[in-house]
Structure 1
């Protein structure tokens, strides 16, 4: 274990009170010198990253902060507090992430005591929202709400999250992050194919609910679709299996090379059979053999936009689209006010940077839908707005090469204006670097930030174009392929427009734009 990891861990164990740790870091920050690696490691454990992509000393005092949303759902009191933090401490910059969390910008260490107190008052936390440990668990945003779900897995998500939280001294110092998905969603919205460990519910021929276990998925630079473990897991086994997988990764993951420090690399080194054997050995029992993959929903259909009847008598839920995940602080306040006005149950975050409002009374659902739509969050969005994701970009991320969030918002608006009749269901992503946090590798059209030379030989923001990514279970998923095309950022909208025009003129024998993107080629 690296020396700096031990040092940070020892500080953490010395105090369960985060403010004691944060206070020492604040004193360090006041000296206006770069924070130590230990301090940054501890801040990450509380969901914070420095705004380091700047040479301005004044700007270096700011941080990005993530709030962990357990089971993807936010009640009305929590929504009010999240809106307050966005307005008061984050300069109104709030992002919905593709891991179903809230992310703020412009947070200062001096404000953390007040922020922690606000979060604690409504049962929220930022602990383990980032850093080298278990990340927030992916799940269905409509667990317990959608009448078409296979099982409400919310209780399993809460149970596992609580276990990690209560045993944080055992699970805060992994080789790298550990991502779990648990979902009973009939539309498979938790994207199990790209999780380190995932449990996907289905019903067998006897009507029994089981979870299909998948292992070793993930994106970033070492992208990989998860393997089926060929094992089925009973609901009462889910927590134990997830914990044992975490222990195996903690104890055997690569601590010498962070580029190889993920569950998928361990499985690739060992082989799937050895990993599963070790899992069952540590469990003390064998899991049920499961050679057949459940029927899986194609990626583009994993949405809940629009107005839907809920399980609860007389209630509905409504799915809305953001624009690339960014929600202004004043909009979050307006959403909070609307939700209180209609006395709904809560708001849930999706894995595609969008949101759902649930617990809406039947006689009020259309009024609520129209009011949120008028705020700029449509419930019948264009395909561009519905499924275009973007990462933080160079505005706030040290790895960012290109600006993404505000750029992506303009891209969406221009595409909607230029192609009002285009209705095919596609996915797109704009990423500021090769780490590709916005998931371009599984999108129909992906853009990865780079620098290119313009016609005047000047270095400008540009993008590598990748095409044809898709999620559809173990056999039907594919990582997007390189197109060989690099484009300037200011020509991105035109490039997409040309693709649409080419498809409308000659579909290359394909029945959908999605299929066309997987076969189209370009002159080099």
Structure 2
């Protein structure tokens, strides 16, 4: 066992797994992959009489209950590395208008979600997506989720090398593969050779991070990242992987995890990050090499010396005379009409969805650049909007998600407008990440300022919406998991609290000091003075005070 790894429990039996974990029983009773064939029977049965087990199985096709549970669904469409052609985006926009009340949103895993889809419309929706080459299989459920990457892969002038073909190979192998659609739980992979590491390799289950070794392209491998209620930053395996070895290495890691029944007993512990906790990076490397049948070369990923890019604005591509144009999509919300309009603006290029829930139009010629920029502004996506809008993330939350306990996108929108009105462009690029529950779809653990929805009782004992405020989180050169510094800030007091923090940073920063560095340089008590609140105490501090 690797040094520093925890003691690993004895191997459990399948009988124990099936007794303890209802989801494992559900998958073995009937494969979720057959559910599309059963749609006609489900429609005939009627939504109210469908067994909840079958509703759960529909997750493997990207479907979730919308909130409230009255018969409509959210559908998540997978876009490897966020890439979608204009023809495909046009089709999704039409489906949104025809079947989803025109509602759509972009996600932090570079997918598109539609809402309000009724059961009877699903066969037509799936057929239309299939006709244009799009899939939802594994977008939810215990499968390989959308494989993310750099939104300008294959185009950026400064990328180390092009991973487009490798991403296609990986997605072709895993998407809908029965052998990898019965995992202990969801699994997240990212692949990129972006010079800025824009794709958040630190918080994925497995990350292939492009690097050059003696001039040759290849990858470092990070494992065990993830957020939710038990956040972890990924750990480096310390190996060098050639592009032709990438898929075998991914399979070896996934096989080791999915075959170990210890990670199927409890849904709470059914993520690869807990296996990495138990075995350590050295133990995971040893298992990969055992399965490959040979040792991988040692390699240490070079330190990142720049902040991750969001690829907003106009960036020249490697092909002379062409650029990509990144436009903030405020709160990640995009209507069917806006999808159709963006598809038309893309012309002969294509469209990419970013991790920050924004759009990038690629292959824009110099002659068309002004028209594309003005066209994006006309449909509600101005390229020159305050960059706070492009760098802030809100989870799906209210009104659609059954897990959210607070407002999400609407609350984040009001906070952004407040800060824009108070500070203007001085807050450009500040990263606000807001979630309505602990699941962390909005990645609140790694924002400059993170917010997790919760509740607080008022003087009369009534519950009100509130937020924990997290600080010192980041991706990139100073990657770290944030900590809840202020607990249960009532929603109506949130604007003033954040304004105090930001005003203190802008008025007291050392030169061009980042917000994160400013927070690192000050104690929790000093930050508390800025917002007029007592900071939360860690368990250790509480014990010491007692």
TM-score between both structures, scaled by the size of structure 2: 0.88
Tell me the distance in 2 between the aligned counterparts of 1:65 and 1:160: 23
What does residue 307 of structure 1 align with? 314
CA distance in 1, matches of 2:111, 2:83: 10
The reply to whether residue 49 of structure 1 matches residue 57 of structure 2 is no
Matching residue within 317, 327, 332 for 1:325? 332
The yes-or-no answer on 1:239 pairing with 2:254 is: no
Q: Is the 8 A contact 1:11 1:21 kept in 2?
A: no
1:193 alignment partner in structure 2: 202
Instruction: Give the distance between the partners of 1:63 and 1:184, measured in 2 at CA.
Output: 35
Q: Is the 8 A contact 2:211 2:301 kept in 1?
A: no
Given that 2:473 and 2:516 are in contact with CA atoms closer than 8 Å, whether structure 1 keeps it comes out as no
Deviation at 1:304, TM superposition (A): 0.8
Contact 2:109 2:355 (C-alpha < 8 Å) held by counterparts: yes
Deviation at residue 303 of structure 1 after TM alignment: 1.4
Which residue pairs with 1:22 in the alignment? 39
Partner Cα distance (1:376, 1:352) in 2: 17
Match of 1:105 in 2: 115
What does residue 38 of structure 1 align with? 53
1:179-328 residue pairs with structure 2 within 5 A? 179-204=188-213, 206-252=214-260, 254-290=263-299, 292-296=300-304, 298-299=306-307, 301-328=308-335
CA distance in 1, matches of 2:33, 2:420: 54
Tell me the distance in 2 between the aligned counterparts of 1:80 and 1:286.
47
CA–CA distance in 2 between the matches of 1:273 and 1:503?
41
Number of the residue aligned with 2:538? none
What residue is the counterpart of 2:500 in the other structure? 498
Q: What displacement does 1:445 show?
A: 0.2
Q: Which residue of 1 aligns with 2:8?
A: none
Q: CA RMSD in A?
A: 2.1
Q: Distance in 2 between matches of 1:430 and 1:86?
A: 25
Once the two structures are TM-superposed, the CA of residue 423 in structure 1 deviates from its matched residue by: 4.2
Change (3 A) 1:271 1:421: closer
Distance apart, 1:199 and its partner CA: 0.6
Deviation of 1:111 after TM superposition, in Å, equals 0.6
Please name the residue that 2:519 is paired with. Answer: 517
3-state SS of paired residue (1:178): coil
- Secondary structure (helix, strand or coil) at the match of 1:125 reads coil
TM-superposed deviation, 1:414: 2.7
For structure 1, the 5+ residue unaligned runs are none
CA shift for structure 1 position 512: 2.8
* Structure-2 change in CA distance of 1:504 and 1:208 (3 Å): same
CA distance in 1: counterparts of 2:288 and 2:381, whole angstroms: 44
Match of 2:390 in 1: 386
1:291-331, CA deviations, whole angstroms, 9 ceiling, x for partnerless residues? x22232555x4211111211223221111111111112222
TM-score normalised over the length of structure 1: 0.92
Measure, in 2, the Cα distance between the counterparts of 1:326 and 1:298. 29
Matched-pair contact (CA < 8 Å) for 1:142–1:348: yes
Match of 2:162 in 1: 152
Residue 360 of structure 1: which of 356, 360, 364 is its match? 364
**How much has 1:336 moved relative to structure 2?**
2.4
Deviations 1:151-185 (A, max 9, x none): 1111111101111136x221111110111111011
Shift of 1:187: 1.2
Among 101, 121, 128, the alignment partner of 2:131 is 121
Q: Match of 1:288, SS?
A: coil
Output one character per residue of 1:315-374: Cα deviation in whole Å (capped at 9) or x when no partner: 2111111111111222222222333xxx23110011111110001111111221122023
Query: What residue number does 2:6 align with?
Result: none
State whether residues 267 and 275 of structure 1, in contact with CA within 8 Å, keep that contact through their aligned partners in structure 2.
Answer: yes
Q: Is the 8 A contact 2:27 2:182 kept in 1?
A: no
Q: Report the equivalent of 1:370.
A: 374
Post-superposition offset of 1:64: 0.9
In structure 2, what is the equivalent of residue 507 of structure 1?
A: 509
Deviation at 1:489, TM superposition (A): 1.5
Do the aligned partners of 1:66 and 1:101 also contact (CA within 8 Å) in 2?
yes
Asked if structure 2 preserves the Cα contact closer than 8 Å seen for 1:8 and 1:41, the reply is no
Q: Report the equivalent of 2:463.
A: 459
Which residue of 1 is the match for residue 401 of structure 2?
397
Looking at structure 1, the residues matched to 28 and 335 of structure 2 have their Cα atoms a distance apart, in angstroms, of 36
Distance 1:424 1:77, change over 3 A: closer
SS in 1 for 2:351: strand
Contact 1:432 1:449 in 2 (8 A): yes
Deviations 1:184-204 (A, max 9, x none): 111111111001111101112
Q: How many residues align?
A: 506
Deviations 1:187-236 (A, max 9, x none): 111111001111101112x2111211111010001100000111111111
Question: Which residue of the partner structure matches residue 13 of structure 2?
Answer: none
Q: C-alpha displacement at 1:421, in angstroms?
A: 3.7
- 1:8–1:39: 8 Å Cα contact kept in structure 2? no
Gaps of at least 5 residues in structure 2 are 1-16, 535-546
Once residues 323 and 285 of structure 2 are traced to their aligned partners in structure 1, the CA distance between those partners, rounded to angstroms, is 41
In the alignment, does 2:74 pair up with 1:64?
Answer: yes
